[in-house]
A and B are shown apart, each in its own frame.
Chain A
Amino acid sequence: MTPNLLAADRARQLAAEFGLKPDEYDRVLAILGRVPALTELGIFSVMWSEHCSYKSSRVWLRTLPTKAPWVIHGPGENAGAIDIGDGLAAIFKMESHNHPSFIEPYQGAATGVGGILRDVFTMGARPIANLNALRFGTPDAPRMKAIIDGVVRGIGGYGNCVGVPTVGGEVNFHPAYNGNPLVNAMTVGIAPADRIFLSAAAGIGNPVVYLGSKTGRDGIHGATMASAEFSADSEEKRPTVQIGDPFAEKLLIEACLELMQTDAIVAIQDMGAAGLTSSSVEMAGKGGVGIELDLDHVPQRESGMTAYEMMLSESQERMLMILKPGREAMAEAIFRKWELDFAIIGRLTDTGRIVIRHRGVIEADIPLAPLESEAPLYTRPTVETPKLPPLGPVADPCGLAAALERLVASPDLCSRRWIWDQYDSMVGGQTARRPGAADAAVVRIEDHQRALAMTTDCTPRYCLADPEEGGRQAVAEAWRNLTAVGATPLAITDNMNFGNPEKPEIMGQFAAAVRGMSAACTALDFPVVSGNVSLYNETEGRAILPTPAIGGVGVLADVGQAVGLALSPGCDLVLVGESCGWLGQSLWLREIAGQEAGPPPPVDLAAERRNGDFVRARILAGEVAACHDLSDGGLLVGVAEMAMAGATGAQLTVAPPAGLAPHAFWFGEDQARYVVAVTDGAAFCRAAQLAGVPALPLGRSGGEALVLPDGETISVARLSAAHEATLPALMA
């Protein structure tokens, strides 16, 4: 029996509408040996969309280092899993919801959080923390305030309700994101290392079970939408955005984790992008089995839904599971207790095909192996980003104190309190360092002393100027932020946000960023265990800044060893790492001198490793009262951030090294640097010298003002007022 086939002309026309290129559609014809039915065409088009198939990025992603002795599952599963000791695994991933968040900010961001949570708990982990990496346009750009407000409310609305603390993240503002903001959400969960659930289906005849919320018409072709550029008619794409139900998600988390205590589950996967299609195709494909679904049994929210609509719906809070035979009643009882739908919608078969029935009619019958093996894979042409000429001398127009006050109030450096005050960061009762308190969030693991440190990092302006250096820097900064709280960095997840991969200069950015990331991951023993790619981030032909956002996870054996960045009085301040006064692509250059120019600071990975390992060892030895890595804004901004966090001043007495202008020394963004507050600065510097690590005494903490070496004084209260005022004023 074959399905109702489309007319040949109509099928080709629809294929184009669904985003399949002509040669891709020819492959569909070859695989099927006939014209497809509508549902079949829908399945091919979403499975082969950029979003689901990674067809432009896979050749590059393969080159990333993914292995280490502590890696349990690298890329390829729903999320990455690493061994963190005590018999525990940390399971984590970051994922973008950029396109939906632009079209409908609240629901786009909310469902981004929901989707990444499911990727983590589907592997058996209880989510313990959420983070988010956001890039917005300038706040005065059209719709931008509404987008910022909607995204923040959406992330809070979902995360607060499901009861997973939102503990960290980052925000940048740049006009390149005016028409295409980025919303990257990361979830970290904890599971017993020997009880991780995977997605490969097995066991011919085993029941295929649908769990969670009912299927509606929302989000149809969301994955296809996420694989195209935006144009002026993007408003019309609103129906492709999904609607989140965090309450259903909370029930789904509890029901899944309860069932996972038993031995009933063979395989489980969430229905994310491309919903029932991708989950059933991927689970059966990975297991090398066939699958038959009868859509009459799919719980439906609306009447009259077609097979095409059900297979393409991206309704949220749904999972697909393969059960062991005989466990159906027990599993169903758990889901009914949590008032969720539970339906057996099919069986695994030995045919190697996916067969979809609806109302007694076969709507699709596709061989699974070629659906994956024949999927398009492109080695797209690349053009290298030209290197920028070195930055010549730049005069200081305003002096250090005035520049500092302006910098700490600038959108990229101002306080993010307005945002994090809307996120519940404490639920769970394990948040030891909340947003703003340390370079990385620190969350203890329930019933353990052990804690995880987590951060997200990327400096897109560096990536635009030099994508390879920018990729290296993003990984190094994540490693540094984990180190700065005392954690041992273990692994990363990456969220690659770029423009249209069909443009060689964009693909060149991608390839270079991956090269830089690879070098840093290798040098720092910091492998990639999961990730997500978001391409076509362009509106009307204008691309975003290349943004390879890195989510880093590290471990602390004892939560009591974690340090924050808040300064307390009576400490010696010491700068670790070498300062060359690098102003190229610095925030000082952009905000004070009005230029975006020069190459970004080079990242010396050997120095990163040496300096970071030294700082971490001193923290774990209990010698460090506060620590802060230096990044955006450089040394003086770093010291000011420590001062503001601790409401404590400092007397800075250091003179810039010979040959460095004061503004280059204080605002240069040289890498591999930290400021530490210690009780005995001389002893710290001696230890650094023995370890071959540059260390420079800066001065001493205390008082209510920052006193600069030339006698200029600025009160911490005044800095804080400027730092705190910006975002509320922008959003008022």
Chain B
Amino acid sequence: MKAAIVTFPGTNRERDMALALKCATGRAPAMLWHRDTALPAGLDLVVLPGGFSYGDYLRCGAMAAQSPIMQAIHDFAARGGHVLGVCNGFQMLCEAQLLPGALLKNAALRFLSMDCHLRVERADTPFTRGFAPGAVFRATMAHGDGNYFADAATLDALEAEGRVVLRYATPDGAVSPAANRNGSQRNIAGLCSANRRVFGLMPHPENQVDPLIDGTDGLPMFTGLAAAFA
């Protein structure tokens, strides 16, 4: 798999993501700069990593969505390229209208840094094929604005098209209000585009890829991606 990570001013989980991709593929991903206007040739996956692009001083991801590289990412996605947005990257994908909806402030109006559990609603995407359908895995969440919102019609359409990929759940897989710490509509933690190739999620599976650090719950996302492009 040939992967690249985009760094924006204020991005701060690009190294975590590079580590996870390297764990799965054995190869360091290319690092791109937000002012780049073209992507490297032959790329399989572009990642928009977590962080506080432009300090989150405007709506999270809104400034980054206007970066020069975003036109190239739009074109890449339109050609069927795979795009992964994590946390601030998910917010950028929504701001860039590559995914529907928006990420609002957490319901409790506080930054939340804790483990959460994610139920895999679809295991037939390139991003979740490493998991069994219905599997539950643990991931770190660390965000102030992860409260997924879309209007009811959009949510119904997302459900009907099977685009809800991950939901916040209890460790035994119950999708309950108690498991939904940031207040997301319908416990949505991650969703994909209609062609399943653009995927955004709030939690950080890239922080659970090493048994010596915090377990390997998130590793199947990256090994699955590597297998998809093997």
Contacts and interface: CB of A to CB of B under 8 A. Distances in A.
Interface of A: 153, 156-157, 160-163, 245-248, 250-251, 338-339, 420-432, 434, 444, 446, 559-560
27 contacts: A156-B111, A156-B113, A157-B111, A160-B142, A160-B144, A161-B52, A162-B12, A247-B9, A247-B52, A247-B54, A421-B113, A424-B111, A426-B142, A426-B204, A427-B13, A427-B50, A427-B207, A428-B15, A429-B13, A429-B15, A429-B206, A429-B207, A429-B209, A432-B212, A432-B213, A434-B214, A446-B19
B113 to A, nearest CB: 5
B214 A432 contact: yes
Interface string B32-75: 00000000000000000011101111000000000000000000
B113 A423 contact: yes
Given A338-B9, A427-B13, A427-B16, A160 B212 contact: no
B150 interface: no
Given A163-B52, A446-B15, A429 B113 contact: no
B55 A161 contact: yes
B140 interface: yes
A646 to B, nearest CB: 16
Contacts of A338: 9
B207 A161 contact: no
Interface of B: 9-10, 12-13, 15-16, 19-20, 50-52, 54-57, 110-114, 140, 142, 144, 204, 206-207, 209-210, 212-214
B110 A422 contact: yes
B214 A431 contact: yes
Given A429-B213, A446-B19, 8 more contacts: A247-B52, A247-B55, A247-B57, A425-B113, A426-B140, A429-B13, A431-B214, A432-B213
B222 to A, nearest CB: 12
- Chain B residues touching A, majority SS: mixed
B199 to A, nearest CB: 20
A428 B51 CA distance: 11
A163 B13 contact: yes
A300 to B, nearest CB: 21
A422 B20 contact: no
Given A339-B9, A426-B204, A250 B113 contact: no
B19 A427 contact: no
Nearest to A246: B55
A296 B204 CA distance: 46
Nearest to B7: A254
B19 A429 contact: yes
A150 to B, nearest CB: 13
Contacts of A250: 9-10, 12, 52, 55
B51 to A, nearest CB: 6
Contacts of A428: 15-16
B150 to A, nearest CB: 26
B72 to A, nearest CB: 19
A157 B20 CA distance: 26
A452 B175 CA distance: 38
Nearest to B13: A427
Nearest to A432: B213
A246 B144 CA distance: 15
Contacts of A446: 15, 19
A431 B213 contact: yes
A250 B8 CA distance: 11
A162 B20 CA distance: 21
Residue from B9, B56, B57, B144 with most neighbouring chain A CB atoms (10 Å): B9
Q: Which 6 A-B pairs have the closest CB atoms?
A: A163-B12, A247-B55, A429-B16, A424-B142, A161-B52, A426-B140
Contacts of A422: 110-113
Contacts of A434: 214
B207 to A, nearest CB: 5
B37 to A, nearest CB: 15
B143 to A, nearest CB: 9
A643 to B, nearest CB: 20
Contacts of B114: 421
Given A426-B142, A427-B142, A246 B12 contact: no
Contacts of A160: 52, 111, 113, 142, 144
A422 B20 CA distance: 24
A444 B212 contact: yes
Contacts of B20: 429
B47 to A, nearest CB: 14
A608 B100 CA distance: 60
B214 to A, nearest CB: 7
Contacts of B19: 429, 446
Contacts of B112: 421-422
A218 B78 CA distance: 48
A156 B213 CA distance: 22
Contacts of B54: 247
Nearest to A251: B9
Contacts of A245: 55
Contacts of B204: 426
Nearest to A449: B212
Contacts of A246: 52, 55
A559 B12 CA distance: 23
Nearest to B207: A426
A253 B220 CA distance: 33
Contacts of B210: 429
A631 B197 CA distance: 53
Contacts of B113: 156, 160, 420-426
A425 B142 CA distance: 9
A161 B10 contact: yes
Nearest to A166: B113
A84 B24 CA distance: 30
Residue from B10, B209, B210 with most neighbouring chain A CB atoms (10 Å): B10
Contacts of A430: 213
A635 to B, nearest CB: 30
A444 B210 CA distance: 11
A162 B55 CA distance: 9
Contacts of B55: 161, 245-248, 250
A446 B214 CA distance: 14
A250 B10 CA distance: 6
Nearest to B17: A429
Residue from A246, A338, A430 with most neighbouring chain B CB atoms (10 Å): A430
